[in-house]
Amino acid sequence: MSTVRVHVSDLAVARVAARRARAVPGVATLLGDVTQTLLGLAATWLPRYPVPDELRTQGVVATVLGREAEFRVTVGVRLGTPCADLAARVQREVAEEVAAVTGLAARVRVTVAGIDLPA
């Protein structure tokens, strides 16, 4: 009998995590770090197909290490949302979703980097 090995890419798990994080009530947006911002600017000059919103990973950095994945999720919250509670919920829900979809254990670090103020 042969052994089948499956590797889930960093991008694939980042997409799962970003989609779930965006769906958490109180999350206004995902915010990219400096590297993601620079890569996003560079991508505007490169010809490519547009990425649908649900597949965008800005605000999430993922690294798959064997049977585990590490995430850095950077969010902007809606004004009036308790930041610590939201960060804990994002952490829990992203870890659960990644485990359900990919079978990987997830370690999630959440940073609240902005508050969305109404106009």
What CATH number should be reported for the domain holding residue 57?
3.30.70.1350
Domain hosting 99: range is 10-40+52-116
Residue 82 lies in a domain: yes
Domain count for the chain: 1
Q: Output phi, psi for 18, to 5 deg.
A: -65, -45
Structural domain contains residue 86: yes
Q: Which residues contact 58 (CB under 8 A, 6 or more apart)?
A: 18, 30, 31, 32, 36, 40
Structure tokens at 117: 């103020």
Query: What tens digit of pLDDT does each residue of 48-67 get?
Result: 656 666 667 888 999 999 99
Per-residue pLDDT in tens (0 to 9) along the chain, 119 residues: 677 777 888 899 999 999 999 999 999 999 876 555 555 545 555 556 566 666 678 889 999 999 999 999 999 999 999 999 999 999 999 999 999 999 999 999 999 998 988 77
Is the residue at 93 inside a domain? yes
How many other C-beta atoms can be found within 10 angstroms of the C-beta atom of residue 99? 14
The whole-number pLDDT of residue 86 equals: 97
How far is the C-alpha of 11 from the C-alpha of 33, rounded, in Å? 16
Question: Is position 4 within any domain?
Answer: no
What does the pLDDT read at residue 40?
Answer: 52
Q: Are strands 105-116 and 68-78 parallel, antiparallel or unpaired?
A: parallel
pTM over 0.75: yes
